[in-house]
Amino acid sequence: MMIKGAARIEINEVGPRDGLQIERAHVPTPDKIAFVDALSACGFARIEVTSFTSPKAIPALADAQEVMRGIQRRPGVVYTALVPNIRGLERARECAMDEINLVMSASETHNRANLRMTREQSLAQLLGILSAANTQPALPCNVSLSTVFGCPFEGEVNPEDVIRLARSVVDAGASGITLCDTTGMAYPSQVAEMCERVQEALPSTPLTIHLHNTRGMALANAIAAWQTGVTRFDAAAGGLGGCPYAPGASGNVSTEELVHMFQCMGIDTSVDLPALLAVVRGLPALVQRDFNLPLLAAGHRLHTHPAPAWLAERFPPDQLTAGNP
């Protein structure tokens, strides 16, 4: 069999942060808490719950601390949150986060558009946060690099820039690196090549891949990453999320489709798919809009349907065993 990879993967459910941050609907704090609690019961390795960003920048997540204080933290689940600056780090410490996630872009123009800083400025800020986070008690810091597989403004991104940035933050104490396909520009051979290069450059740093399904390739890219040894995947329930700077871009890889695919392949995801699908069923009500949920519509691949009633009449029972081709 040609398709090989690790027998076990870990999923970081990013829907509560990456998904809800761009929804237009106001999601009340108790509903967010219930969403995260329901996700906690699904068996995820990690949940990115919220973002300790300025409420002015992302009003949808202004209740970050209330949400963190309201959820039931399940042993074994790593609760993480996005942190953009030192003030955010302080708020994360107040909430006793298990881990935080820092972010900057691999491409200059996207970094300027998204973070309003040059990459140089963002990197300096990240190094400052890493330094503060690594003073006792140390708080593990993952760094997510956006636009690794392409920039919606610049096009191709230089893999050398990605390696150099990843190395800089790992040298400064980052506990992990996430390669983000922010606007769904990645394709399988590129994903495989980039994942191999980063793993070669930083062999002892856990590597996560963050995929979007903009051009239909999210699951193909996930397999490509997994074939190179990647075992950590970001995903959002229902495929929530997107990017405001990329018109037409659809959301994150859908968690349920990622889990379903790997489970079909016999890979342990630790996620309870029926429980997750029950959460997904509630998403349109949570975010107050309709959206496509293909796996929910179709069901598990082995969810069978009753045969048409006329079959029994047309094919009498004695014929039922006759059909060995």
109 touching a second copy, by CB under 8 A:
yes
Number of residues that make up the chain: 325
> What are the Cα distances from residue 273, in Å, to 78, 80, 251?
19, 22, 20
For position 220 contacting a second copy by CB under 8 A, the verdict is yes
Which C-beta is closer to a second copy: that of 72 or that of 304? 304
**Residues sharing a CB contact under 8 Å with residue 290, sequence separation 6 or more, in sequence order:** 284
| Burial letters 245-275, b for 16+ CB under 10 A, else e | bbeebbbbbbbbbbbbbbeeeebebebebee
Give residues with Cβ within 8 angstroms of 295, minimum separation 6: 254, 256, 257, 260, 277, 280
DSSP 31-53: HHHHHHHHHHTTT-SEEEEEE--
Residues from 263 through 282 that contact a second copy (CB under 8 A): 264-266
Query: Judged by CB under 8 A, which of 28, 59, 76, 294 binds a second copy?
Result: 294
The only residue of 31, 37, 66, 108 in contact with a second copy, by rule CB under 8 A:
108
Of 51-59, 62-70, 80-88, 261-269, the window that binds a second copy (rule: CB under 8 A) is 261-269
Report residue 182 CA to chain centroid gap.
Answer: 11
Of residues 70 and 159, the one with the C-beta less far from a second copy: 159
Task: Please tell me the distance from the alpha carbon of residue 272 to that of residue 259, in angstroms, as a whole number.
Answer: 9
- The nearer residue to a second copy, 67 or 295, going by C-beta atoms, is 295
- Closest distance of CB 30 from a second copy, Å: 31
Using the contact rule CB under 8 A, the part of the chain among 21-29, 48-56, 203-211, 262-270 near a second copy is 262-270
Helices (H), the chain: 29-40, 64-70, 86-94, 108-115, 119-133, 159-171, 188-201, 218-227, 255-264, 273-281, 283-287, 294-298, 310-314
In the complex, least distance from residue 267 CB atom to a second copy, rounded to whole angstroms: 9
Q: Which residue has the tokens 């090989």?
A: 4
Size of interface with a second copy, in residues (CB under 8 A): 82
Q: Which one of 56-64, 66-74, 135-143, 240-248 is the stretch in contact with a second copy (CB under 8 A)?
A: 240-248
**Interaction with a second copy in 296-325: which residues (CB under 8 A)?**
297-299, 301-302, 304-308, 311, 314-315, 319, 322-325
151 is a catalytic site residue: no
Interaction between residue 75 and a second copy (CB under 8 A): no
> Measured from the CB atom, is 76 or 229 closer to a second copy?
229
Among 115, 224, 271, 277, binds a second copy (CB under 8 A): 224
Pick one of 193, 268, 285, 288: the residue that binds a second copy (CB under 8 A): 193
Catalytic pick from 42, 141, 243, 264? 243
State both tokens at 148: 């690794």
Q: Residues 223, 9: contact at Cβ < 8 Å?
A: no
Residue 107: how many other CB atoms lie within 10 Å: 26
Contact with a second copy (CB under 8 A) among 137, 203, 216, 316: 216
